Each structure stands twice: as structure tokens, then as C-alpha cells.
Amino acid sequence: MPEIGLGIGRCVLPNDRFRREVLSWFDERGQRYLTTDEQADIERQRANTAQEQIDLLLAKLRSLGISEE
């Protein structure tokens, strides 16, 4: 559907342990739109990374004798 910048194609999802081929939506550049599960995984990874950074900064502040509050 080039008039709206969408395409449909086959792919193997990266997290599919059975390596099944599925149909997916693609944009006009050929980039596959992520599934909701993939989007949730990415967001979970971002949140975990942010929390790790916060924990490291808080530990640094404590080591310098600075209160968290």
C-alpha cells in the first residue's frame, strides 16, 4: 500500500524460539513495525537501565556523604 506508506511482508520475529515465519507490517523504508510485546520489552529494558543509573548515582552521592533527600 504505497499510497499510505505501508507494506506487508514475511519475517522471523527475533524472540520466537520456534523461528516461525510470520507476516508483519513494514514502513516505506522497509523497517518492520514492532509487535506490542517487542515494544514492551524495549520499554522494560529502558526502565531497567534508568533504574541502574539512578542506583549508581545514589550510591555515589552516599559515598560522598550527601543525603538522598
pTM: predicted TM-score of the whole model, two decimal places: 0.69
**Which is nearest to 1 in space by CA: 25, 22, 21, 23?**
25
For 21, other C-beta atoms within 10 Å of its C-beta total 10
- State the residue for C-alpha cell 531497567: 48
Mean pLDDT of the chain: 91
Which pLDDT belongs to residue 4? 83
Beta bridge mates, 7:
26
Q: Which of 19-23, 49-53, 65-69 has the highest mean pLDDT?
A: 49-53
